[in-house]
Structure 1
């Protein structure tokens, strides 16, 4: 029998701190180069469509390979997959820094997408080392590391870009390689050998998209995560144009806005969501997050006075802080220990697909319908998702589903 998800491997708090630092360092490097990518690509004659394809190529490769890495981590352990992903990411940044054409830039972004398994593997590590009661809190810490990387990364990238576009890429490569070395030396393996053997013998390659969606808990969570990420990424894509149109904002103001949203979301995930999930449970937080985000999107689409707009953006950050760790915690609670990597890989894979499609849909609605249309439409979809979230089980019900599936 596989180890129960309620019986995590004994890992010291220091190990989870090491995991947090590893994820933060990785995402700091990611945050350094991503805002500069359009400007770098333009030096090689890229158009707006080409820049969009660069982003999409990364997301598409991550969509294809995240489940593969996840299943591999179930069979050989989390640490080797995490380290390998960081090493390949570092190499992709070195290629990015040495690029001399658009083709090489595409190669670097596609390689980074292939290696994009850090987040799902880190989530699987958390699942291995937490009880079901603490699972969502642990997922929140990973989300906080993600947010903090995107808060500080763009600022560092802006400073380093004074020495050319290659300098931020070399810094990102150094951070990724340093994170790989740090994880290899300091991070203990979280998945017991017995569970790895079970995964290799019985489940390797078995958990695909069709099977994942056929499961009552996992299928609902995956659908809600895809919809929420689709709506959020569509908002992100048009936010700069929207604020330029209605508030005469430029790059500096939108940068401050993203930092503000990131700080609020990180604070929610780092501490507040743990207390809330103990009081109300994951299902209630998911429904509240979807409803609040939908209401905030609709209000923002009306282009209210600036002070109201800033409050609404704060509400979006709060909603994201409620929603993201609650969904990842709930799907993990309902997944057997020897399938955590595979299921969480599929989970992140769908997020990548949503981030590839959402910006296109947001831009299309912005151009064809009106500047507020992407926000109004997303708000309506999120409200429908909040109604669909009534199908989600409470944590205790999810644990019973898992118990039946592993008995």
Structure 2
């Protein structure tokens, strides 16, 4: 590891794995992603009931947040009805979670290019201990601790680790596994109605997250500690400015950047990724409120709905997405995005469960294909030492889209 003038660093080239080691790395990364997704999706079906519970408990912190949401709703002309207010509150929670990811993802990716994947991944995982706080208290303060965990999500590091693997088979596994949201949704427990019913599952998730802190990441030997804590944060504007992220400026200004048509293609892929997740996250965060208000779904029924979505996504990823040949990802993305149009119409206008189910089926197909395929294509851009920066920038674009999508949709 070399350090240049001004505290910048020379990125490490990726470690080329032997086939057996590649399999072990993919397995460990997959298990880590599964636990991350399980911890996140546990919250979605509980969110409407949790907010109602905190409101009835007259929690002071919740009350102050509620007054802020009321003011914002009045400012933008939202009708003063409880059902609209709760959706807006849920959108605010989702936006804060994603805002923290937006700030953190590109920085962790760039730092991991300098210090190595393992130490930065372990640092991110330590923040997942906030889930344990939720298990000990039902106050709104404790609930916000799960939102703060957004700063600790290490999914971009997981994709960077898999992007470091050089064999085509590893790249195919990365496409399906690194964004295997369906697997996390499939394993999400159908939780009971209300916060107390969720505590045993929260304890389980907290324990599994703690287990990850001591899980060895095979094939990635630890690097020596950096001789300085000062990294090249002069590029912070490239990592945090939305316009710079869309232009992949941190990648363009790095060593051995893609040039010409390849850089233009990378920017177009980033824009498509951003717009897709902007629409996707708007539906994702409002879906539980829509079914709660229109169909009177309980938390248990919400859990079953997300289980259906996850099972569908897992099936599509296992039978269709993983069979997409290299070079066919973009065509698959186009077909999947077209399916979002009828999916959104059916979910938004449907007044019966069969219509809702058909809409969710189309929605699940698109979700199972678009992000994994785009991630696989983007991972091929940039020099070997830039994989963390490339994937961190992509993840930050996704977090920015998820920050804006829930509030706009709400």
TM-score, L = length of structure 2: 0.73
User: CA shift at 1:57, angstroms?
Assistant: 2.3
Determine which of 97, 110, 113 is the counterpart of 1:74: 113
Query: Which structure 2 residues correspond to residues 98-177 of structure 1 after superposition, within 5 A?
Result: 98-99=136-137, 101-106=139-144, 108-116=145-153, 118-131=154-167, 135-144=171-180, 146-155=181-190, 157-158=191-192, 162=196, 166-177=199-210
Cα 1:158–1:140 change in 2 (3 A) is same
User: CA shift at 1:189, angstroms?
Assistant: 1.1
2:52 is aligned with 1:16: no
Cα distance in 1 for residues equivalent to 2:184 and 2:171 = 22
**Deviation sequence 1:184-212 (CA, Å, 0-9, x none):** x253318999xx99xx9999947635166
Cα distance in 1 for residues equivalent to 2:265 and 2:123 = 31
Aligned residues: 349
Cα distance in 1 for residues equivalent to 2:289 and 2:212 = 35
**Deviation sequence 1:110-159 (CA, Å, 0-9, x none):** 5312212x211111111011445752442211222x3322332342x539
Cα 1:220–1:317 change in 2 (3 A) is same
Cα 1:271–1:222 change in 2 (3 A) is same
Structure with the larger helix share: 1
Cα 1:138–1:70 change in 2 (3 A) is same
Cα distance in 1 for residues equivalent to 2:246 and 2:284 = 28
**Deviation sequence 1:149-180 (CA, Å, 0-9, x none):** 2332342x539965x65544333221111022
More moved, 290-299 vs 171-180: 290-299
Cα distance in 2 for residues equivalent to 1:101 and 1:159 = 17
Any unmatched runs of 5+ in structure 2? 1-9, 67-85, 249-262
User: CA shift at 1:333, angstroms?
Assistant: 0.8
**Counterpart in the other structure of 1:220:** 268
Cα 1:244–1:57 change in 2 (3 A) is closer
2:91 is aligned with 1:55: no
**Counterpart in the other structure of 1:394:** none
Determine which of 385, 389, 394 is the counterpart of 1:338: 385
Any unmatched runs of 5+ in structure 1? 364-407
Q: Retained in 2: the 8 A contact 1:140–1:273?
A: yes
Any idea what SS the aligned residue of 2:102 has? helix
Cα 1:4–1:284 change in 2 (3 A) is farther
More moved, 24-33 vs 345-354: 24-33
Determine which of 236, 240, 245 is the counterpart of 2:284: 236
TM-score, L = length of structure 1: 0.73
Cα 1:100–1:24 change in 2 (3 A) is closer
Q: Retained in 2: the 8 A contact 1:55–1:356?
A: yes
User: CA shift at 1:302, angstroms?
Assistant: 4.1
Cα distance in 2 for residues equivalent to 1:303 and 1:159 = 25
Q: Retained in 2: the 8 A contact 1:235–1:359?
A: yes
Cα distance in 2 for residues equivalent to 1:234 and 1:51 = 11
Determine which of 33, 37, 44 is the counterpart of 1:27: 37
Cα distance in 2 for residues equivalent to 1:40 and 1:349 = 28
Q: Retained in 2: the 8 A contact 1:32–1:154?
A: yes
Cα distance in 2 for residues equivalent to 1:251 and 1:110 = 19
Cα distance in 1 for residues equivalent to 2:202 and 2:294 = 34
**Counterpart in the other structure of 2:104:** 65
Cα distance in 2 for residues equivalent to 1:201 and 1:85 = 18
Any idea what SS the aligned residue of 1:158 has? coil
Cα distance in 2 for residues equivalent to 1:294 and 1:171 = 38
**Counterpart in the other structure of 1:398:** none
Any idea what SS the aligned residue of 2:379 has? helix
2:219 is aligned with 1:188: yes
**Counterpart in the other structure of 1:380:** none
Cα distance in 2 for residues equivalent to 1:161 and 1:246 = 22
